[in-house]
Amino acid sequence: MYNFLLPKEFVSSVFEITPEKLEALNIKGIITDLDNTLIEWDRPDATEEIAAWMKMMQDAGIRIIIASNNNEERVKRFAEPLGIPFIFRARKPLGAAYFAAMKQIRLKSNEVAMVGDQLLTDIMGANRLKLYTFLVRPVAESDGFVTRFNRFVERRVFNTLKRKGIKTWEEQ
């Protein structure tokens, strides 16, 4: 069961993911979560640093799409000013949004990485489709109501991984 929950890489922030790193992995596109992955769940707009990171990726030829379980208004407000396509109410970990995202950026699963902050949604769904997965340390200490339950389950998974000697970003 933990195979679906274990990301390929633990990173402290999206800024550790570079075009060079993706090129070495033969990754040509990113499906990214929004809330607590790119920005805090309660921040409406992109920071200058995130906008610059996204532009750097696009300039390097990396295709980016946002897949968020949040509503259209929330995701659109963030994505449209940056010119980033998006999928809202993605219903991750179900596969439909991942397939729709790959179709929209015209890439196959072996060319795409998922970047997210939650094991039970972002990572589990992407692993089921054999995408490369990056688990990012959440950018905010607080979470929305539904996410708090997921964090409780994640804590148990992280404790099991620690007992098995698997290092997460918590130990790095």
Domains and CATH numbers, the chain: 9-60+72-134+151-164 (3.40.50.1000)
CA distance 82 to 46: 8
Name the average pLDDT for the chain: 89
User: What's the pLDDT tens digit per position in 45-78?
Assistant: 999 999 999 999 999 999 999 999 999 999 999 9
Q: What is the DSSP string of the chain?
A: -HHHH--SEEESSGGG--HHHHHHTT--EEEE--BTTTB-TT--S--HHHHHHHHHHHHTT-EEEEE-SS-HHHHHHHHGGGT--EESS--TTSSHHHHHHHHHTT--GGGEEEEES-IIIIIHHHHHTT-EEEEEPPSSS---HHHHHHHHHHHHHHHHHHHTT---TTT-
Give the whole-number percent of the chain exceeding pLDDT 90: 70
CA distance 44 to 76: 10
pLDDT of 38 higher than 70 = yes
CA distance 103 to 107: 7
User: What's the pLDDT tens digit per position in 95-104?
Assistant: 999 999 999 9
User: What's the pLDDT tens digit per position in 106-127?
Assistant: 999 999 999 999 888 899 999 9
pLDDT of 150 higher than 80 = no
pLDDT of 172 higher than 60 = no
The whole model's pTM is what?
A: 0.86
